[in-house]
Amino acid sequence: MADKGISVIIPAYNEQERLPGTLQKIHDYFRDTPEGFEILVVDDGSTDSTASEVLRMASEIPGIRLLTNDKNMGKGFSVRRGILDSRGTVILISDADLSTPVEDTKKLLPFLRGDYEIAIGSRGMAESDLAIRQLWYREGMGKMFNLLVRLLVIRGIKDTQCGFKLFKGEAARKVFEKCRINGFGFDVEALFIAKGMGLRIKEVPIRWLNSPASKVSIPGDPLKMFSDLFRIRAYKVLGYYG
């Protein structure tokens, strides 16, 4: 596929168990897309059989590509690498566990056909369907983080961290070539850069089925994400975002 269709970016770390089913579901959903599609799995230095499972699936399902980090670099790095290597006119970022079903793409896509360059899934809206919720302390920390995001970095977005986001392809590549954060705070950075570029962002309620096998380690990762908010402000002052 060259400069057409949809690219699905999946960052993956030790996902040998969940990825085969996820790749099959994504393929089944997009296989009749007239413009074509590709699925880019970015293996973030996994220590299990993630890479070999992806290659096995790629031999059976057309459109799957594997990118492999030499070592664990972080979710932000992996998403950025996938986006900059993508070819689609539309780019979907999805978690390997499909906590938001791939079918919810249809909720986001109409906004990209309208006035928006970016449509993001949100768990923070009244219409959001949290069918399986996070543990209370994880949900509480998420709400606190999003409050800090609104106070310190981006106003007007209720949930920056849902791992289900849809971009126009060129907009995504322009945003992510400026990104610098490698960890879980990358979502905030990307949306902050997008707003600074004047790109239009639509927050859309989605269905959420939380997976208990979260890769966010408590308390280490939340503390890093909190520090990322100050890094974003510092990078802006230093002119790193242009």
Residue 159's closest CA among 170, 147, 175?
147
Q: Give, for all 242 residues of the chain, the pLDDT tens digit.
A: 446 699 999 999 999 999 999 999 999 999 999 899 999 999 999 999 999 999 999 999 989 999 999 999 999 999 999 999 999 999 999 999 999 999 999 999 999 999 999 999 999 899 998 876 666 566 777 778 888 888 889 999 999 999 999 999 999 999 999 999 999 999 999 999 999 999 999 999 999 987 766 566 656 677 899 999 999 999 999 999 98
Residue 232 lies in a domain: yes
Residue 1 lies in a domain: no
Q: What is the DSSP letter of 135?
A: P
pLDDT of residue 142: 75
What are the start-end ranges of the H helices in the chain?
Answer: 19-30, 50-60, 75-85, 105-112, 136-152, 169-176, 186-196, 220-238
Domain range for 23 is 6-238
What are the start-end ranges of the H helices in 89-168?
Answer: 105-112, 136-152
Residue 163 lies in a domain: yes
Residue 213 lies in a domain: yes
CATH number, domain at 183? 3.90.550.10
Map tokens 């906590």 to a residue.
Answer: 99
**DSSP secondary structure string, 73-106?**
--HHHHHHHHHHH---SEEEEE-TT-SS-GGGHH
pLDDT of residue 200: 98
Cβ contact 181:232 at 8 Å = yes
146-155 burial, b for 16+ CB within 10 Å, e for fewer?
Answer: beebeeebbe
Residue 72's closest CA among 204, 217, 206, 189?
217
Residue 120's closest CA among 160, 88, 176, 75?
160
Measured distance CA(181)–CA(234) in Å, rounded: 12
110-140 burial, b for 16+ CB within 10 Å, e for fewer?
Answer: ebbeeebbbbbbbbbeeebeeeeebeeeeee
Residue 59 lies in a domain: yes
Please tell me the total count of domains within the chain. Answer: 1
Measured distance CA(194)–CA(188) in Å, rounded: 10
pLDDT of residue 2: 47
pLDDT of residue 213: 62
